Chain A
Amino acid sequence: DTGVSQDPRHKITKRGQNVTFRCDPISEHNRLYWYRQTLGQGPEFLTYFQNEAQLEKSRLLSDRFSAERPKGSFSTLEIQRTEQGDSAMYLCASSFNAEAFFGQGTRLTVV
């Protein structure tokens, strides 16, 4: 297993368009997280899955954001009607115990 992988690595989109990101966690990890990191800040928690169940969502996750983890494997994060304020690095992490492993992130630029 090569770790947590995210696709795409970079995405440039026009304001108002929808975008979808994918995360493939480490295969035996039952927990999956999405974080958002803006320039000069640490990552901020967005949402958490245990297996296929989405158990927690941050207030940062507006109704334009939706995440899924069908069958408890890969996860997708969709942002509808993107805004310039959505420009950030979106990080996915997975864990089996207290140690989270991060992917390289998807850098979103909204123009």
Chain B
Amino acid sequence: AQTVTQSQPEMSVQEAETVTLSCTYDTSESDYYLFWYKQPPSRQMILVIRQEAYKQQNATENRFSVNFQKAAKSFSLKISDSQLGDAAMYFCALEYSGAGSYQLTFGKGTKLSVIP
């Protein structure tokens, strides 16, 4: 079974500053994907960034980057130059395709507030 743990229920950041959201996970598999999803209030969940476990290079998407430490089973999200629109719930998720379903296992989420 896979588990995902987000130990920060809430975080806040000043506009234009940098914030890092933490995520740890547990899986016995060697081939999997990791994701960060953003869920704004009353809006649908959207993908922020993804990381393939077999890739050593950390993924980057514009202001969003990850620090993937496979041995430590850690997958943190760094948001640079934070903007008001970044305020949302952020979910870390793991996907294992070995069982064939590609289902996602989510953490409980981190609520990010951006202070003007």
Known: A41-B108, A104-B44. A56 touches B101 (CB 8 A): yes
**Is there an interface contact between B106 and A43, defined as CB atoms closer than 8 Å?**
yes
Interface size on B, residues (CB 8 A): 24
> Would you call A45 and B45 a contact (CB within 8 A)?
no
Contact A102 B102 (CB under 8 A): no
Which residues of B lie under 8 Å from residue A4 when comparing CB positions? Answer: 44
Q: Mark A66-104, 1 if CB is under 8 A from B, else 0.
A: 000000000000000000000000010101001111111
Q: Is the CB of B46 within 8 A of A56?
A: no
Residues on A with C-beta less than 8 A from B116 are none
Chain A contact patch, size range = 20 to 34
Would you call B43 an interface residue if the criterion is a C-beta within 8 Å of the partner chain's C-beta atoms? Answer: yes
Q: Name the residue on A nearest B97 (C-beta).
A: A98
A24 to chain B, nearest CB (A): 13
Contact B106 A42 (CB under 8 A): yes
Contact of B103 among A33, A91, A104 (CB under 8 A): A33
Which positions in A face B, CB cutoff 8 Å? 3-4, 31, 33, 35, 40-45, 48, 55-56, 91, 93, 95, 98-105
CB-based closest 4 A-B pairs: A42-B106, A102-B45, A104-B44, A56-B101
B residues contacting A by CB (< 8 A) are: 4, 33, 37, 43-47, 50, 91, 93, 95, 97, 99-109
- A sample of 8 inter-chain contacts (CB < 8 A) reads A33-B103, A48-B102, A48-B103, A55-B101, A98-B97, A98-B102, A102-B37, A104-B44
